[in-house]
Amino acid sequence: MALFVSGCWVSYGMPMYLSGVLLSPEEGIGDYPRRLRVRIDAQYWTMNIRSADRLDNGKRAWSVLESIRKSVVLTGTPELLASLKSADMRGRPLRLEGRLYERQRVFVLDRFTATPTRLLR
């Protein structure tokens, strides 16, 4: 699927996953060496990244994230984003799966899974 941005279609995104803990704006950034600034709707969240990988055979995922200055816009269906931002998901280890449009710095969320335990920030 291609992405429509500012009146034009752009390239196909690279399939990848990100694993870590998503922190709301109220929770601060925590103390974690690998973090990603994530804009969801109009709010900036922080994701402390435990691991990231591409689901194809392209260049290393963390190199890609560093090249986009560790900042992305997270999009997806309204239901998926509302579930991700819910209080139940805060502080839980998550695995986000989707497509990263590197040039546009947009991560289109296809699905996410959470583990039943909570991690410390």
Encoded tokens for 5: 């941005």
Q: Residue 78: its pLDDT value, please?
A: 94
- pLDDT, tens digit (0-9, with 9 covering 90-100), for 45-75: 888 888 888 776 666 777 777 777 778 999 9
Domain that holds residue 47: 15-114
Is 40 a domain residue? Answer: yes
Is 9 a domain residue? Answer: no
Q: Given the structure tokens 């689901």, which residue do they identify? A: 55
Is 76 a domain residue? Answer: yes
- pLDDT, tens digit (0-9, with 9 covering 90-100), for 75-110: 999 999 999 999 888 888 999 999 988 888 899 999
Is 1 a domain residue? Answer: no
Higher pLDDT pick, 22 / 56: 22
Is 72 a domain residue? Answer: yes
- Closest alpha carbon to 48 in 77, 73, 75, 28: 28
**52 vs 99: CA distance, rounded Å:** 12
- Closest alpha carbon to 14 in 55, 43, 42: 55
Is 86 a domain residue? Answer: yes
Q: Residue 77: its pLDDT value, please?
A: 94
Q: Residue 2: its pLDDT value, please?
A: 52
Is 75 a domain residue? Answer: yes
* Tally of structural domains, the chain: 1
Is 108 a domain residue? Answer: yes
